[in-house]
Amino acid sequence: MALLTLADAKAQLNIKSDTDDDELLTYVNSVTTVIEEYIGPVEPREVFEQHNAEGGRRTLVLRKSPVLSLTSVEPLLSGGVSYPVDGLVLDQDTGQVYRRDRGWFRGLLGVTLQAGRTDPDPTINLAARMLVQHLWRTQRPARSGAVAGSGDDYSASEPIPGFGYAVPNRVLELLAPYRLPPGVA
C-alpha cells in the first residue's frame, strides 16, 4: 500500500503526459517520509524496539505509533521472562502496553510490533498530494515566468519548526488530527 501513487500525483498536478514521470516519482516517494515524521507510520511495517525495564516498569511506551498489533515481547538476555501478547493490553494510538494482570515488566526486552495504518484516512492522502504539489511548484517556473510558489497560496514566509519551508501550513493543518503525541517518534 502506497501513501501516494504516481497517478494520484499526476491527477493533483493535472499532468496528462508521462514525460516527467521519473522526476515526479522521486517527489512521490519522498513525501511518505516527511508525513510519517509528523504523524507516525502510515504504511504498515514491522518494527523492532529494545526497552529497558531492568528496575521494573508497569507500562512500556512504544516509540512507533500508531501500533496495529504486538507480535512479541521477549527477553534479550538469557534467563529473562517472555510476555505472551495475549496477556498484554495495547493502546494502539499511544503505543502504551501494560500487563493484563497489572504486573511489572522486568529486564531488557525486545518488542516486535506492526506499526502503521491499515486504511489511512483520505485526508492523509490529500495532504500528501498537496505536499507533492507544493514541492513540484517550487521547481517549476510559473506560466508568467515568475518562480512558482512566489506570492501564491503555497509560499511560506515563516519556517515551520522542525520542517523549515518544505511543508506548507495547509499540509500541516490537514495532518494535525493525526499528529503524534509529544515524545512519540
Tell me the per-residue pLDDT of 21-52, one tens digit each, with 9 for 90 and over. Answer: 999 999 999 998 899 988 989 989 999 999 99
Q: Which of 6-10, 116-120, 163-167 has the lowest mean pLDDT?
A: 163-167
Q: In the predicted model, what is the mean pLDDT of residues 98-124?
A: 94
Q: Kindly state whether residues 128 and 155 are assigned to the same domain.
A: yes
Do residues 76 and 109 touch, judged by C-beta distance below 8 A?
yes
Q: Which amino acid is at 31?
A: V
Residues 6+ apart with CB under 8 A from 99: 58, 83, 87, 88, 89, 105
160, pLDDT greater than 70:
no
Which domain, by its residues, includes 95? 45-115
Assess if residue 171 is contained within a domain: yes
Residues 20 and 70 in one domain: no
Mean pLDDT, range 3-16, rounded to an integer = 93
Residues 16 and 33 in one domain: yes
Task: Compute the average pLDDT of residues 1-19.
Answer: 90
Alpha-helical (H) ranges within 2-158 are 6-13, 21-39, 122-139
**2 pLDDT more than 70:** no
Residue 169 is assigned to a structural domain of this protein = yes
Would 132 be classed as within a structural domain?
Answer: yes
From residue 163, how far is each of 28, 34, 38, 63, 109 by CA, in Å? 18, 9, 9, 20, 33
Q: How many domains, in total, are found in the chain?
A: 2
Q: Which of 115, 138, 161 is the last residue of a domain?
A: 115
Average pLDDT, the chain: 85
- Look at the pTM and tell me if it is higher than 0.85: no
If asked whether residues 92 and 67 sit together in one domain, one would say yes
The residue out of 60, 92, 115 marking a domain boundary is 115
In a domain, 61, yes or no: yes
